Chain A
Amino acid sequence: MNIELFFQYLVAGVTYGTIYAIVAIGFNIIYNTTGIINFAQGEFVMLGGMTAVTLHAFLPLPVAILSAVMITMVIGALIEITFIRWLTSPSVLRMIIITIGISILVREIALHVWGAGVKALPYFTGTAVSAISVGDVHISPQVLWVTGVSAVMVICLNLFFTHTLPGRQMRACSANRDAARLCGINAKNMVTLSFVLSAGIGALAGCVVSPITYVQYDGGTALAIKGFTVAIIGGLGNSMAAVAAGLLLGILESLSIWVMPTAFKDVISISILLLILFVRPSGLFGSKEAAQLKEF
């Protein structure tokens, strides 16, 4: 293998890894406030990308993306209010099946609204062939957009959770729901907020990545599995570890093309998921003791 090709794969791996990390953070936000895994997380990414493509037909790109993110956030809130808010302490099995049902419905609605074709936003700067060359390695400007926007998103989320009142209220809810409610925090609103937030970051990720990967009505499921893999590797609920885990998985997957046919790329990452689940379900960066206290 030559070194230029290696770096080229590395860049591709980082791009995909960033998106996996964002999906994983979406999982974690909802998991932390509710204790449930939202199997429809990948659908938010798809919805964001699809809506932005539609809006871009008659709106400038930044406005289209912003509106798409807003619309997806509203959809996230509606999903939570319609299907989840009024359930009193549902079992894990019940929540798994409900969120799977939601993901199927969203996907099927998307199929009837947008059709089965692939769509994409235009490249934010330059075109599909423009590249920034670092030595012999060529990097598409869109890759910088993906990594840049994701980095800003992670920093903003961090600031939100540590420095704003709603962010701290959400953390209080995830630490101890009952104690938080005794302090006057409306836990139900925090759950809705967590759906809005993860819908928003998912949609934004869907917009920035769509020029490279394209969006299709059924693209959400694969992303959800990858995102979940990353969330597990990082330790469920730990968003900062998810970033590291996302990059790790993205790069591993990208380099696996060297030894395996491309068709088996997904098999690699899912095998990693199964391996981690079997050997160390608390994740690479998670603590075993803390994992035992959680209700899976």
Chain B
Amino acid sequence: MARNRHLQVFLLIAAVAAVQLATMLSDTQHYLTQLTMSGYYSLVIIGLCLLIGYAGQISLGHAGFFAIGGYTSAFLTTYDLTPVSDKAFIAFLSRTGMLVSTEDLYGGQVLHLHPWAACLIAILLAIIVAYAIGGPVLKLKGHYLAMATLGFGTIVYKVVLGTEQFGAADGISEVPEFALLPGIAVSGKLSMRIMNYYIAWGLVILGVVLLSNLVHSRVGRALRSIHGAEDAANAMGVNTGRYKLNMFVISAVFAAIGGVFLTHYNGGIGPSEASIMKSVRYVAIVAIGGMANLWGALVMGFVLNFLSLRGYFGSYDDAVFGAILIIIMLFTPEGLLRRDLFSDIRGILGGGKDLEEKV
């Protein structure tokens, strides 16, 4: 089993590199922008896959966590601290190197929080919100759980849409680049396109390795028992409430990280990132991927987000995801890429090049 997993991760790394080489050889490097963006969306999706597929809890509000990450980071890295720079706290932040000064469009100096600090605060905020919301919400089941998470997503959407400081309907723009290390930055600049592709998919690979280890551990077995029969799991001594809450928080963190990075990559964020349709779209992709199938969710997240971002669905973008949801749930409620189906394909192809693209 463990060797199998190493092989999967190796194939994923190979596929990521193969896609980049393919765009270079076929002179379609402009695809890298959408490939990078779909990487960050895939991060949200694998986190949600853990929650829906393995812990069996639906969430129709994960775009809310994505927006919490993105908006917090965008707000903190664009909010000008110059007028209050003489305050003791701000001066302290400045001395500890937490503040950076950048030039805005008109050549003025803007003093703002360092992206690393903003990123950590964003993730921390997502964790706090996830614990606060998750505690009571996860006691609910079925319709109530779906509606409560939908309600949470709507609240986040309405708040970012109605708050002047978050740019209301325009969102926040001119978000600076996120310098991870000297010379390495999350940025939409053309010169950094290839590097950013690898940053995004490097994060995805890291996320997949973490989650795949998690679902194959004691925690994963406990989660599957919750999904199968929660009362029985409880009776066997599995603390179902704590497991569900922890998975909710982990998936929220994945969504928030996706939000933070994509916001710095795009240089801005708008309220549509928090909309219910985004949340539903994430659920749709997890469903197509096969619910409890991390790799399926990753493949479908990559393919569908890429097609959608490239505009292949035209004005039928949302309709496509609605139709996919219905068709999958009517005919194959276990998802298109069931684990057995996946291994069937693997058997047929026997490690050919097509497989690399798929994994």
A binds B: yes
Instruction: Please report A residues at the B interface, Cβ cutoff 8 Å.
Output: 36-37, 83, 87, 90-94, 96-98, 100-105, 107-109, 111-112, 221, 225, 228-229, 232, 261, 263-264, 266-267, 270-271, 273-274, 277-278, 281, 295-296
Chain B residues numbered 297-330 whose CB sits less than 8 Å from any CB in chain A:
315-316, 318-319, 321-326, 329-330
Q: Does B10 belong to the interface (CB within 8 Å)?
A: no
Assuming the contacts A100-B280, A104-B280, A270-B151, asked whether A296 and B141 have C-beta atoms less than 8 A apart, the reply is: yes
Are A92 and B147 interface neighbours, CB within 8 A?
no
B200 at interface by CB-CB < 8 Å:
no
Q: Are B329 and A94 in contact (CB under 8 A)?
A: yes
| Interface presence of B155 (CB below 8 A) | yes
Are A98 and B155 in touch, CB under 8 angstroms? Answer: no
A83-B330, A105-B322 known; A96-B146 Cβ under 8 A: yes
Question: Which residues from chain A contact B319 at a C-beta distance below 8 Å?
Answer: 104-105, 108-109
Tier of interface size on chain B:
35 or more
B143 in contact with A104 (CB, 8 Å) = no
**Across-interface contacts of A93 in B (CB, < 8 A):** 58, 142
Contact A277 B325 (CB under 8 A): no
Measured CA separation A87–B155 after assembly (Å): 34
Main secondary structure of the interface of A (DSSP, over half): helix
* Residues of chain B at the chain A interface (Cβ within 8 Å): 58, 60, 136-137, 139-148, 150-152, 154-155, 158-159, 161-162, 276-277, 280, 283-284, 287, 315-316, 318-319, 321-326, 329-330, 333
Whether the Cβ atoms of B162 and A261 lie closer than 8 Å is yes
A37 to B276, alpha carbons, bound, how many Å? 18
Q: B143's contact among A92, A102, A103, A264, by CB below 8 Å, is which?
A: A92
Q: Of A101, A102, A266, which one neighbours B158 at CB under 8 angstroms?
A: A266
CB pair B148 A274 closer than 8 Å? yes
List chain A residues, Cβ under 8 A from B150.
Answer: 225
A83/B326 in contact, CB under 8 A: yes
Most B C-beta atoms less than 10 A away, residue of A83, A104, A267, A270: A104
Q: Which residues of A contact B137 (CB under 8 A)?
A: 274, 277-278
> Which residues of chain B come closer than 8 Å to A264, judged between CB atoms?
158-159, 162
Assembled-state Cα–Cα distance A111/B152 (Å): 26
B147 touches A228 (CB 8 A): yes
Given contacts A105-B322, A274-B137, could you give 6 more A-B pairs where the C-beta distance is less than 8 Å?
A101-B322, A108-B318, A221-B276, A232-B147, A274-B148, A278-B136
- Cα of A296 to Cα of B139 in the assembled complex, Å: 12
List 21 A–B pairs whose Cβ atoms lie within 8 Å, in order of A's numbering.
A87-B330, A92-B142, A97-B58, A97-B283, A97-B329, A100-B322, A101-B323, A101-B324, A101-B325, A104-B277, A105-B322, A108-B318, A109-B319, A225-B154, A267-B155, A267-B158, A270-B151, A274-B148, A277-B147, A281-B144, A296-B144
